[in-house]
Amino acid sequence: MFDNQDLQLYADLKARLQKAMDHYDSELNSIRAGRANPKLLDKVMVEYYGNLTPLNQMANISASDPRTISISLWDITALKDVLKAIQASGLGLNPSDDGKIIRLHVPAPTEERRIELVKMVKKIAEDTRVNMRNARRDILDEFKTLKKNGDITEGDMATAEKEVQKILDNAVAQVNKALENKEKDIMEV
């Protein structure tokens, strides 16, 4: 029967899979699909008083309509630095400001760009699935060590393999569902 060490291995696997899924979600959110999404700016860093500061820690960022992101800075003196950081971010967005609020118009991507984005999203999904399979391999190696040391039986090992696979299958299904949703989002005109 399984003891606390075995249950801890399952918990470790679930934690590693969740971490991979969280990273995958953040990567998907940073891909511009043609809709205004404040999470596009999560990776934008601004030179602010000599330190690199995430933009989302300096302002309220919201989608004022499906094609526009509004940035309301808490410290207006950083306006020029924020504009420079957005232009240098590689997002392909041109900021405009009225002295108080920065607005980013998010253009609809071309068909060619959409296909390119779908390929990129599929690659990120596959990388995530590979990371998840590596986590499964590592946990199964630990179970094999337990079996080799005589801590678990052959039957326990078979049960562990099935349980680990079931946990992995659920996580991969989440990745596939998120991929499917992002593909629809990207290809939608």
The predicted-structure confidence for 51-61, as pLDDT tens digits, reads as follows 888 888 888 88
β-bridge mates for residue 101, sequence order: 72
- What does pTM read for this prediction? 0.69
> Is 4-30+110-187 a domain of CATH 1.10.132.20?
yes
Which tens digit of pLDDT belongs to each residue from 75-90?
888 888 888 888 888 7
How far is the C-alpha of 183 from the C-alpha of 115, rounded, in Å?
9
Q: Do 4-30+110-187 and 38-100 share a fold?
A: no
Please give the CATH number for the structural domain made up of 38-100.
3.30.1360.40
How far is the C-alpha of 45 from the C-alpha of 12, rounded, in Å?
32
Torsion 50-54-105-109 (CA) sign: positive
What are the domain boundaries of the chain?
A: 4-30+110-187, 38-100
End-to-end CA distance of the chain: 55
Between β-strands 59-65 and 68-73, what pairing exists: parallel, antiparallel or unpaired? antiparallel
Angle in degrees, 0-180, between the axes of helices 4-29 and 154-187, rounded to the nearest 10: 10
**Confidence band (pLDDT; 50, 70, 90) for 17?**
very high
State which H helix or E strand residue 110 sits in.
none
- DSSP tag of 91: S
In residues, how long is the chain?
189
Query: Cα-flanking dihedrals φ and ψ of residue 48, to 5°?
Result: -135, 110
